[in-house]
Every structure is written in structure tokens, then in C-alpha cells.
Amino acid sequence: MTAFRRATTIDAVLARVLSAALVGVEAALVRVEVDVTSGLPAFTTVGLPDSAVRESRERVRTAIRNAGFAFPLDRITVNLAPADIRKEGASFDLPIALGILTATGVVKNSVVGPYAVVGELALDGQIQPVRGTLAVGLACRRQGIDTLVVPVENAAEALAVDRLHVLAAPTLSDAVGLLNGDCPAMAVPLARPVRAAAADDLDLADVRGQAHAKRALEIAAAGGHNVLLVGSPGTGKTMLARRLAAILPPLSSDEVLEVSAIWSVVGLLPRHGELMTLRPFRAPHHTISVSGLIGGGSPPHPGEVTLAHLGVLFLDELPEFQQHILESLRQPLEDGRVTIARASGVSDFPARFQLVAAANPCRRGCASLERCLCTPAERHRYLGRISRPLLDRIDLHVELPALGPADLESGVGGEHSAVPRKRVADARERQRERFRASGTRVNASMTPRQVRRHCQPPPEAQRLLAAAMSRLGLSARGHDRVLKVALTIADLASSDGIRPEHCAEAIQYRGLDRAWRA
């Protein structure tokens, strides 16, 4: 859609400029309609604007004058359509200003084709960066808009969208010159990736001992499984959790845009022009609220589970989180999405993350079970804060023993991250071939029908599973998750199918089911 001006018999001029509003973690195109009519001076904004959008009239008026243009002393009405979408933020400053200048004949729009505009205005006419430029660029590509006018600081971010012509303007007068063809477009460098070496700063070799936990972490990375680490303080739970991202495969080009768009909307991209090429790692404190973890507010905004999309969500001291907050994780762990319903509407956020949780075996955090001051009943009550439905959704339960002097003095931490990362990448490739015809990406995301199709254990393995269901009290969900883990172990072993030893190892990672029943 292009901007235009139209004279009427009642001495009014109407102009339209295309912009975008952020809705959740996506952008929706918005028509900024500006009507300039003869009458008493007034400036009214309608179309469900928030306070920041309503205050734009003062910024726009002052910026137009300080940029050297005449501000019309007429009645100005700005309509943001469609009116049922709430518009928030200062990104409508620039499109409103260009709409007024189009209505007064300053912007002739004789050069640029269909375009959209986002940007905040300073009082001196400078164009300031805004959030969500990447999401706006993706919305323009979907709607067939060829050109996007953005602040200079957001230009490299917008250029990450293929087949989108980006015009970067440092000031309001430069934006007018670009649209009129009076000044050349600025050369903008392509978006720079986040420093790739950051993943190698956290190496598995830094963790002494804990070979069993490292093996579980490799299985989790290969199949996208959730992990719970239980051990005394100082056994390496946090170190292991932070090193999971180092053995995960890199994001694909589509996943880079998917993650970067979310972080752009929230305003958390590392620096202007950089994209998220590393998988996110989020570690909220146990005092977080439900809105902070899952998302919420009015209008709803994404929470930590969405910021961890396609990455890792680490919850340290899991039993210390409030019970209702932990239970709110059930839907995103099962569905990979979060649906938040409010009176103003329903918002849907992506939340396909890997959960890594850590917990002490007792409330006091004693150094070891041998010297623990807590009674068995107190330890059971403490871990009992993790409900059975939530525990069912965690595939791997790993108990970490206390380290001895020999483990610390050996100076050898095992394999470097590059070695298991290669095995994880090979296992992920087998899963891509397996699920090529579906939208499933990893074993942990298999549907029940896919579990029945791809997880066919031999008779001996079936007997092991039947015994585990009786002794551990596995639910039907727990049974399927054992099969998913067994398939991942088979992928790491380059096996064509599940074998009894794969099922036996997968069952070993369900130890807390027995403790929960005790």
C-alpha cells in the first residue's frame, strides 16, 4: 500500500501510510490514516492507541518544525486501522509524521512503491530505534510489501529478511528525501551474527567426574529431552546445565530468524544489527511470577518460556519455586506453545524449549546424604514439591553423587564439548530423515502415533518396560517418554531400532518415579 493525498470539496486532505503494530511476538500491518481539515487547530489520534501513541502528537509536532517543515494549523485526525488491534509504543511517530507531510504535499511519493514505516522521533527530528523491526520485516514479506523505512540502527536487522528493500533514515528530513528521491539510500551492512565462539567458552571438560550426568546431558541434547539434576551442593548441577547449549546443534537459518524476531520484539537483541545465532539460555530466579515465566499482562507479553524458545530454560532450585508456578509449565512442556486468554483477546506464544532443572535432595542442602541432618520424611516432603504430572514431563532424572578428592585432583574432565556435539549432530540428522514428512524435529516431540510407528521394542525390551511400569509406577505418558529416550539412545549408537540395552538405560533415568511413590 502506498501513501497518497486526495483533495475534497470540503477542503480536506487524506493521506495513508502503512506501518505495523506488535501483537505478541509477531507484527500486524496497520494503516495510518491522516486527515487534515480546515478548522480550529486540533490533533486527535484514534484506533485503540495506548498512552505512548497518544503522546506522539507532541513529538511529531515538534519534530516536524525542528526538521524545517511547516506544521499545518488545521484540524488533524489520525486513525490507526484496524481499530480492534491495540497499538502501543513510539514506533508510530515516523509514519504519523510522514502521513501529515504527505497530506500537506511535502512527501510526493513519486519514487518508492508500496512501503511500510516504523520509527520513533526525537524532538530535533532524529529517528530513534524501535523494538520488533525484524518481526515487522517478516510481516511485510508475508503481505507483499517491498520496502520498509526504518531507523539506521534497525536497518541491519531488517536486512536479514530476504527480498525486502530497506531504506534507513537518520532524520525526518532524510526520510522525506528518500521517499521523494531527492537523496540516495544509505549503504547498510548485513546483520552480524552473535559471536559464535561464545558456545565454546563453556566446555564439558570443565566439569570433573559426573560421567553418568554427562551421558544424560548428551542424550538430552540429541533428542530434545527435559532433564532434572538432583544432587548435593557443589556436585556440578549448574555447571552441567549451562554447558548443555554448548553441545546442541547450531540454529538453522529459519530458526535464527524465528528466535531473533522474538528477542527483537522484547528488545533484547545483543546489539543493533546482531542476530541470535546461539541457542538462548534463560535462568530465571525462583521468585519469578507466573506472568514472568509463562507470559501475561494486558496486553499479554511473552515470558521466559518464550524467550527460551529453541533453547534452554534452566530452573535452579526447582522445589523452591511456588507450586502454582511449576504447575503452569505443564502446557508449554506438552504443547510447545503458550496460550494466554484475556478479556481483550487471546495471545499465542511459541515455547518449544528444553527444560533443565536442578534440585538439592533436601531442604537444608546438606553436603551429602551420609551427613544429612534431614530425616527421610523431610527429604521426601521436599522433593514432593515437584508434582507427579510435572515429573512425568521430565524425561531424564539424574542423581549426581558427591565428588571425592580423587575427582578434583585428577585434572581430567573427560571429553571436550566438540566430541559429544558431533555425536549429537549425527543423531539429529537421523531424526531429520525419520521425520522428514512431518513437522516433528526431535524425538522428544513425537506424537503418540509416531511413538507407535517408530518405537517398536523387541520382546525382551517390552518385558523390561512392563516390569518398570509395575515397580516404578510409570504412567502411560512416562511409558512413552521412556520409549522416546530409548530411541534417542539408539540414534546415538547408530542403531536401526530400539534394543533391550537401550530400553534398560532409558529406564535408569526414571529413578525419581520410585522415590515419588515411596
CA distance 294 to 289: 8
The helix/strand/coil state of 379 is: helix
Listed in order, strand segments (DSSP E) in 351-508 are 354-359, 396-400
- Average pLDDT per block of 10 residues along the chain, 518 residues long: 45 83 92 92 93 93 95 94 90 95 85 85 95 94 93 90 91 92 69 47 80 92 94 87 90 91 88 80 94 87 94 94 93 90 81 94 73 79 86 91 70 78 94 90 92 90 87 84 94 92 92 59
Eight-class DSSP state of 299:
T
Task: Determine the straight-line distance between the first and last CA of the chain, rounded to whole angstroms.
Answer: 66
Assess contact for 60 and 69: CB atoms under 8 A. Answer: no
Its sign, for the CA torsion 433, 336, 511, 222, is positive
Q: Which of 174, 16, 8 is nearest to 99 (CA)?
A: 16
Nearest to 171 by CA among 153, 151, 146: 151
5-180 shares its CATH topology with 196-209+226-246+268-414: no
Tell me if the bond preceding 82 is cis, omega within 30° of 0: yes
Give the Cα separation of 362 and 169 in Å (integer).
58
Residues comprising the chain, all counted: 518
Instruction: Give the pLDDT score at 188.
Output: 63
Cell (9 digits) for 189: 551492512
Number of H-type helices and E-type strands within the chain: 23, 21
DSSP state of 152: G
Task: Tell me the C-alpha distance between 31 and 52, whole Å.
Answer: 18
Beta strands in 130-252 (DSSP E): 147-151, 165-169, 192-193, 227-231
Grid coordinates of 30? 496497520
- CA 313-316-322 angle, 5° bins: 95
Give the model's pLDDT for residue 194: 47
Helix (H, G, I), strand (E, B) or coil at 124: coil
The 3-state DSSP class for residue 117 equals: strand
Please report the pLDDT score of residue 189 as a whole number: 59
Per-residue pLDDT, 518: 46
Domain parsing of the chain, residue ranges:
5-180, 196-209+226-246+268-414
Q: Does domain 5-180 have CATH number 3.30.230.10?
A: yes
The crossing angle, in degrees rounded to 10, of helices 476-492 and 211-223 is 100
What's the alpha-carbon Rg for the chain, to the nearest Å?
28
pTM of the model: 0.87
For domain 196-209+226-246+268-414, give the fold: Rossmann fold (3.40.50)
